[in-house]
Amino acid sequence: MTGNVATGSVGALAVPRHQRTVAGGSGTVVAVSAGQRVHVVNTLGHQVVDTWALSSDAERCLSMSHTRLAIGRISPRAGDVLVDDRRQPMLRLVEDDSLGDHDTLIPACDAQRYRSLGYQGQHASCADNYAAVLTSLGMPNQRLVPDPLNLFMAVPVSDTGELTLNPSLAPAGSKVVFEAVRDTLVIVSACPQDLVPINGADSEPRLIDLYLEDRAPSHRRYVRVELHVLLA
């Protein structure tokens, strides 16, 4: 019965309050307090979103290799807890109504990637978007770009281990919702890749939306469960 009450409370309170639109090809950061939820919405569909998370002191980062071991798969699903580079829980993936294609194997696009694809000149990149966010946070000298969680990115692995970069199939309006296990900076980049058709068959980067919920209903659920246990 406690579970039913908690689920109903979560559903009733899970109304996003703070919205931010991120232009296609650009990045941003949101501070997510412990227990708070952030929605990453594929507003127009087919947009890959490179995603990173840092501890509030930037000493630890979300780690794809550690997360793959923690969840026992190469792609997270709803219910999975994503961990940092010291194996500590960082984000819980609580909802996912996309088709579940989330890559953990491919690095962020960067200037060299576009050069190797034949692009002449300066091309926007997820690595540059990440660096720009860190500069905006007063941390301009972070040279290492952690492997991102590439939300909505379809990278099937064949039986013989080959990778394929497919166009994202994420429907318009589909979303992934994370709950912060502890205070976390979530950085996203609406990938500017337009030379390889990962952002849909037309290779057109599109805007995304972020929604940040108010303080977590789940904390109330945990308190309720703890009281129930104590009273029992």
Q: Given the rule CB under 5 A, which of 104-112, 155-163, 171-179, 216-224 is the region that contacts Zn ion? A: 104-112
Q: What's the CA gap between 143 and 139, in Å, rounded?
A: 10
How far apart are CB 23 and Zn ion at their closest, in Å?
14
Out of 41, 170, 191, 210, the residue judged to bind Zn ion by CB under 5 A: 191
Q: Dihedral angle at the C-alpha atoms of 205, 148, 71, 200, nearest 10 degrees?
A: 20
Which CB atom, from 172 or from 196, has the smaller least distance to Zn ion?
196
Distance of CA 193 to the CA centre of its chain: 17
Q: What's the CA gap between 164 and 99, in Å, rounded?
A: 17
Which CB atom, from 185 or from 191, has the smaller least distance to Zn ion?
191
3-state secondary structure of 84: strand
How far apart are CB 113 and Zn ion at their closest, in Å?
8
Which CB atom, from 71 or from 170, has the smaller least distance to Zn ion?
170
How far apart are CB 161 and Zn ion at their closest, in Å?
23
Total number of residues that touch Zn ion (CB under 5 A): 4
| Rama region for 148: left / alpha / beta (φ>0; ψ in -120 to 50; rest) | beta
Backbone angles phi, psi at 118, to 5 degrees: 95, 5
Does residue number 109 form part of the binding site for Zn ion (CB under 5 A)? yes
Q: Given the rule CB under 5 A, which of 19-27, 153-161, 186-194, 207-215 is the region that contacts Zn ion? A: 186-194
Question: Exposed, middle or buried: residue 56 (CB in 10 Å: 0-12, 13-18, 19+)?
Answer: middle
Q: Give the residue from 184, 214, 216 showing the smallest Cα distance to 35.
A: 216
How far apart are CB 58 and Zn ion at their closest, in Å?
21
Which CB atom, from 67 or from 168, has the smaller least distance to Zn ion?
168
Q: Given the rule CB under 5 A, which of 77-85, 109-117, 171-179, 200-208 is the region that contacts Zn ion? A: 109-117
Binding string, residues 111-150; x marks residues near Zn ion by CB under 5 A: ---------------x------------------------
Q: Do residues 104 and 163 make contact, with C-beta atoms less than 8 angstroms apart? A: no
Q: Give the residue from 32, 194, 183, 48 showing the smallest Cα distance to 107.
A: 48
Q: What's the CA gap between 158 and 164, in Å, rounded?
A: 8
How far apart are CB 62 and Zn ion at their closest, in Å?
17
Quick one: tokens of 131? 């660096």
How far apart are CB 127 and Zn ion at their closest, in Å?
8
Contacts with Zn ion by CB under 5 A lie at: 109, 126, 191, 193
